[in-house]
């Protein structure tokens, strides 16, 4: 399954049949889903420490403030937007270098692709519930 929208659909369907769901550990991405639905009774935390004897961030040092379990619970800061984590920007780099010409070419391709859609027709979203 991919994405939070698809996960919400699965959890909503399971809820209709009074079936609990425990998403496979994906840290902050699962925690918000689990807090939002009553049929997600717990969160899976995958311990990635070398010897399994420490609580370490799931994403290593990627986030400045990744929530970690304390006393068997995860607390999320409701005042933070999105998934509530801050990307650590120092040390980030592209996996490969692109020239300005390549960047411009990709930008043009993306714009042409988006322009190929007709926005004249009414689009109705599909909701699972």
Provide the annotated active-site residues.
Answer: 24
Helices (H), the chain: 4-16, 28-36, 100-115
Per the structure block, which two tokens stand in for 85? 């984590």
Per the structure block, which two tokens stand in for 45? 């935390």
Question: Are the CB atoms for 32 and 75 separated by under 8 Å?
Answer: no
Q: What is the chain's Cα-based Rg?
A: 20
């Amino acid at each position: 399954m991919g994405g939070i929208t698809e996960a919400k659909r699965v959890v909503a369907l399971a809820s209709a049949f009074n079936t609990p769901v425990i998403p496979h550990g994906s840290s902050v991405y699962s925690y918000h889903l689990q807090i939002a639905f009553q049929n997600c009774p717990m969160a899976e935390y995958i311990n990635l420490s070398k010897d399994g004897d420490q609580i370490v961030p799931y994403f290593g040092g990627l986030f400045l403030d990744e929530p970690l379990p304390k006393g068997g619970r995860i607390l999320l800061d409701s005042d933070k937007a999105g998934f509530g984590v801050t990307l650590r920007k120092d040390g980030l780099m592209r996996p490969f270098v692109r020239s300005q010409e390549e960047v411009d070419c990709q930008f043009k391709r993306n714009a042409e692709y988006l322009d190929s859609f007709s926005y004249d027709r009414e689009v109705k979203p599909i909701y699972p519930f």
